[in-house]
Amino acid sequence: MVAEVRRLDRRITTADTDIATTVEHTGTTLTQLYGIGTGLAGTILARVGSVHRFRSAAAFASYTGTAPIEVSSGDVKRHRLSRAGDRQLNHALHMMALSQIRHNTEGRAYYRRKRAGGKSHKEAMRCLKRRLSDTVYRQLLHDADLTLAAGPAGHSGAALSSSAAD
């Protein structure tokens, strides 16, 4: 059993290294966002695919399951967490939110403002996750725009035709 655990540990280490290498080769800037390491960036990139398939940040939030659902009754206006959407992406955003709450970040300040405004922990987390979803969406769009602006072989400003003399 110990040998099996060691073998599985080596496989995990190899997979982590492969993910880190792949994320680095994509040129993504997701890892610059607080709370996203190479593992979460790999999950996000793999689950999202092309960000251009989402027409807006709201559509992306719906896909990640961070768009709240209104469950109001009478004069009471409430929202609840959507159970729809990609649960792995939702989990990645949740981990990002927890990381931001634990450290002195803008996410923590936002969470505290929501709590001071009378929201429960779950409600404040839902708001923060939606905000982080929008941030991730903008970052993915930024990365995609940089990739599209690059020419052949990924070099910005490179031309398709040769400028060499006949």
CB atoms within 10 A of CB 103: 11
Q: How long is the chain?
A: 166
End-to-end Cα separation, the chain, in angstroms = 69
Integer Cα distance of 34 and 69 in angstroms: 27
pTM: 0.78
Q: Is residue 120 packed enough to be buried (19+ CB in 10 Å), middle (13-18) or exposed (0-12)?
A: exposed
Q: Contact, 39 vs 24, CB < 8 A?
A: no
Q: What is the pLDDT along the chain (166 residues), one digit of tens a residue?
A: 999 999 999 999 999 999 999 999 988 999 999 999 999 999 999 999 999 999 999 999 999 999 877 777 777 776 666 677 899 999 999 999 999 999 999 999 999 999 999 999 998 999 999 999 999 999 999 998 887 765 555 555 554 455 555 4
